[in-house]
Structure 1
Amino acid sequence: MKEADEMATIKASCPSCGDVELTAAQVRLVVCTVADWSYYSFTCDQCSDEVRKPAGSEVVSLLRTGGVKVERWTVPAEAMEEHEGAPIGYDDVLDFALWLERANDPVAALTALRPGPRVARR
């Protein structure tokens, strides 16, 4: 039975080459805590492109049945936070880097800008 599992053929589709046949070892399956972010990927043997496609629950089940190992991906809560205001741009990052060069005590300065619970410093 083990030999049969190792020999399972997984059929997938490359956008450039069409249908391809893969082994379980050639497929990467990433299951995320945010279901819409789960995906599977493989490198096409014909064109060498990396192909990445969404993996809904049915696809995950089929790939697992075919012997593909699951990688778990937990998205940090911070990534899911709502943000207000304009996105940070290149100039903002440059201004911050220049400010860091001049700051005597960046932690104290940043704490003053955004008061919150005080953390004892060593």
Structure 2
Amino acid sequence: MTTIKASCPTCGDVELTPPQVRLVVCTVSAWSFYAFGCPGCSDEVRKHASDDVVRLLTTGGVPAEHWSVPAEALEEHSGSTISWDDVLDFTLALETTDVVAAAAASVLRPRHVG
């Protein structure tokens, strides 16, 4: 079986087998990573997986999990961020929606002509 050499920040160099390594390949290559539980200290170690690392790990028998980033996460946003006050104001505004819906319903209700 293939031996994979990696490094743990606490224990230093460690040897792993393909089933001990999790490889996540993302549509945004900067977000791809590999992770493993250190056999020495049991900490989970997560590191960026460049295209070369992905190629090496998959060649070594590590199955790749593919992750597609939703388009919304990649959109550029402008303007100020939402504050807790904004959330509270929105919540309070939602409490008045029943009044608005009732008023709209009375206007839209068909009238019977006798």
TM-score by shorter chain over 0.5: yes
Structure 1 match to 2:18: 24
TM-score (norm 2): 0.78
State whether structure 2 residue 71 is matched by structure 1 residue 71. Answer: no
Answering whether residue 91 of structure 2 is matched by residue 97 of structure 1, we say yes
Partners of 2:14 and 2:99 lie apart in 1 by 58
Structural mapping, 1:37-56, within 5 Å? 37-56=31-50
> 2-side partners of 1:105 and 1:12: how far apart?
62
Give 1 or 2 for the bigger CA radius of gyration: 2
- For the aligned residues, what is the CA RMSD? 1.8
> Residue type of the partner of 2:85?
D
**Distance change in 2, residues 1:105/1:49 (3 Å):** farther
With over 3 angstroms needed to count, the CA separation of the structure-2 counterparts of 1:35 and 1:104, relative to structure 1, is same
Q: Aligned partners of 2:63 and 2:99: how far apart in 1?
A: 48
Q: Percent identity?
A: 66
Aligned length: 100
| Structure 2 runs not aligned, ≥5 long | 101-114
Distance across 1 between alignment mates of 2:63 and 2:90: 42
Aligned mates of 1:88, 1:68 — CA distance in 2: 41
CA distance in 1, matches of 2:59, 2:99: 56
The structure-2 alpha-carbon separation of the partners of 1:103 and 1:40, relative to structure 1 and needing over 3 Å to count, comes to same
Q: CA deviation at 1:46?
A: 1.3
In structure 2, the residue corresponding to 1:79 is in which secondary structure?
helix
Once residues 35 and 89 of structure 2 are traced to their aligned partners in structure 1, the CA distance between those partners, rounded to angstroms, is 39
TM-score between both structures, scaled by the size of structure 1: 0.73
Unaligned runs of 5+ in 1: 1-6, 107-122
Paired letter, 1:92: D
Aligned to 2:6: 12
Distance between the aligned counterparts of 1:90 and 1:26, measured in 2? 42
Give the aligned residue type for 1:64.
Answer: T
**Aligned equivalents of 1:16, 1:56: Cα separation in 2:** 22
